[in-house]
Amino acid sequence: MPTYNTPDGSRSLFDLYDDANRGSDVPAAFNQWCLASVIGAVVSPFICAYTTPDQPIYTDMRVFLIGKSGSGKGKAMGRAHSLLDAAVWPKGRMLLIDGSVTAALLVKEVSEWQQRKREEGIVDWMYAPLYLMHQELFDDLGTPESARSFISFMTNLGSRHTQNYSKGSIYSGGTRIIRSLSPNWIAGTTIDWLKKVYDPDAVRSGAFARIVPVYVADQEVPAQRAFESHPRHFTELIWSIQQRLADLTAIKGTFAWTGSAREVYTAGVEQDGNGEERDPAMESVYARVRELVVKYAMVHALAQPDAAKLELTEQSIAVAQREVRQTIARAKPLYHVASETKETSGLHQVEAYIKRKGQIRERALLQWAKAVGMDMDKVKRHLAFLAGVGNVVRETAPQPIGTRLVWAGKGKGKKAQDEQEEG
**pLDDT of residue 231 exceeding 80:** no
- List the Cα angle 33/36/40 in 5-degree steps: 140
CATH of domain 13-336: 3.40.50
Instruction: Please count the CA atoms within 13 angstroms of the CA of 267 that sit on its side-chain side.
Output: 9
Distance CA 60, CA 44 (A): 5
Which comes out higher in pLDDT, residue 119 or 17? 17
Confidence of residue 139 (pLDDT cuts 50, 70, 90): confident
pLDDT of 49 > 60? The answer is: yes
Higher per-residue confidence, 405 vs 103:
405
Residue 257: which residues within 8 A CB-CB, separation 6 or more? 49, 265, 312
Which stretches does DSSP call E strand in 75-179?
A: 95-98, 130-134, 165-166, 177-178
Least confident of 145-154, 229-238, 273-282, 300-309: 273-282
Q: Is the pLDDT of residue 318 over 50?
A: yes
Predicted local distance difference test score (pLDDT) of residue 276: 45
- The H or E element containing residue 15 is helix 13-20
* pLDDT at residue 330 in the model: 83
pLDDT of residue 81: 86
Evaluate if residue 131 carries a pLDDT over 60: yes
Mean pLDDT of 259-284: 70
- Does pLDDT of 421 surpass 80? no
Q: Please, what is the average pLDDT of the chain?
A: 77
Q: Is the pLDDT of residue 414 over 60?
A: no
Residue 223: per-residue pLDDT: 63
Query: Helices (DSSP H) in 358-409: which residue ranges?
Result: 362-371, 376-388
Confidence at residue 339, expressed as pLDDT on a 0 to 100 scale: 55
Kindly state the average pLDDT of the residues 70-80.
89
pLDDT band at 6 (very low <50, low <70, confident <90, very high): low
171 confidence band (pLDDT: 50, 70, 90): very low
Q: Which residues of the chain are in CATH 3.40.50 domains?
A: 13-336
Q: How does strand 47-52 pair with strand 55-58?
A: antiparallel
Reference 99, options 46, 39, 140; nearest CA is: 140
Buried b (16+ CB within 10 A) or exposed e, 225-237: eeeebeeebbebb
Residue-level pLDDT at 42? 87
The pLDDT of residue 167 is 35
Strand pairing partners for 63? Answer: 186, 212
Q: How confident is the model at residue 304 (pLDDT cuts 50, 70, 90)?
A: very high
Per-residue pLDDT tens for 352-398? Answer: 889 888 999 998 999 888 877 778 888 888 888 888 878 899 888 77
